[in-house]
Structure 1
Amino acid sequence: MIAVCDHDSYFVQNNDVFGVMGLFPEQNITATLWMLVYGVSVDQVAEIARMEKSTIIESLMRFCFAIESLYTIEYLWRPTEMDLQRLLKKGEMRGFSRMIGSIDCMQWT
């Protein structure tokens, strides 16, 4: 979370034009994670978190861009042929023979 906050000043708590403190970074990121992890709609998150829908959508977009910018080079790269073979072998040993191509890696044969 610290890396995301350092990457994008949107996730830093500031005063608004009326001098009122804005949302904590944890609130924005938690709302974003609810949508990404649990697949809940912006309406559900708005109701639970008591945040504006536009704020939640903005947080989601900025969070995703930050993650992509921060981690693409090290973690979000396309696997090589060697990587694919290693993953397929490991999947085969664990009973997931066709896991590549399945978005959740839970494809049973």
Structure 2
Amino acid sequence: MADMQEVLERQEQETRERMRGRAASKRAQRELDEQLGIAVALLEEENQGRRGSREGRRPNVDRHRHSREQKFTAVIRMLVYGSSADQVDEIARMGKSTVLESLVRFCDAVETLYTRDYQRRPTPRDLQQLLQKAES
């Protein structure tokens, strides 16, 4: 009977640890999403000044610009397939300079977002978490 009690207690403890791990994982994901939003907002704000956008001006609605999705697709195509800007600009019908500028902006955003967490030496806590993740 005592063995059964120990088994039940161990199961309860493991369940609590898993729940804590899930909560920590969700919390980390929320923080990561928030950081991504902040990084993108900062980059857009920084680039507003360079693009000649001023307060009081109407948005340039009738100009033919490429959407964010088109630029993102071109950047991903370059990174995934190892394509050159010339190859992508023919497919996406964008100028070479637009494709390259989008690539630089995307890489800057990724670097800004992940530098603090992933381009540093792992702490003992990080190593412990990796070992625990590998065990499960």
User: What is the TM-score normalised by the length of structure 1?
Assistant: 0.57
Aligned with 1:58 (options 97, 101, 105): 101
Task: Name the structure 1 match of 2:17.
Answer: none
Task: Name the structure 2 match of 1:101.
Answer: none
C-alpha distance in 2 between matches for 1:79 and 1:58: 31
Which protein is bigger by CA-based radius of gyration?
2
Identity of aligned residues (%): 46
Aligned with 1:45 (options 67, 74, 88): 88
Which letter does structure 1 place at the counterpart of 2:78? M
Task: Name the structure 2 match of 1:78.
Answer: 120
User: What is the TM-score normalised by the length of structure 2?
Assistant: 0.47
How many residue pairs end up in the alignment? 83
Cα distance 1:22–1:8, how it changes in 2: closer, same or farther (>3 A)?
farther
Cα distance 1:61–1:80, how it changes in 2: closer, same or farther (>3 A)?
same
Structure 2 unmatched runs, 5+: 1-35, 48-58
Structure 1 or 2: more helix by fraction: 2
C-alpha distance in 2 between matches for 1:23 and 1:5: 18
Q: CA RMSD in A?
A: 3.2
Task: Name the structure 2 match of 1:100.
Answer: none
Give structure 1 regions of 4+ aligned residues with deviation exceeding 3 angstroms: 2-5, 78-84
Report the 3-state secondary structure (helix = DSSP H, G, I; strand = E; otherwise coil) of the residue aligned with 1:72.
Answer: helix
Task: Name the structure 2 match of 1:15.
Answer: 60
Give how far 1:45 is off: 0.4
Cα distance 1:7–1:33, how it changes in 2: closer, same or farther (>3 A)?
farther
Query: RCO higher in 1 or 2 (8 Å CA, sep ≥ 6)?
Result: 2
Cα distance 1:24–1:5, how it changes in 2: closer, same or farther (>3 A)?
farther
Cα distance 1:7–1:23, how it changes in 2: closer, same or farther (>3 A)?
farther
C-alpha distance in 1 between matches for 2:87 and 2:104: 17
Residues 27-49 of structure 1, C-alpha deviation per residue, up to 9 Å, x if partnerless? 11111111111111111100110
Structure 1 unmatched runs, 5+: 91-109
Contact 1:46 1:52 in 2 (8 A): yes
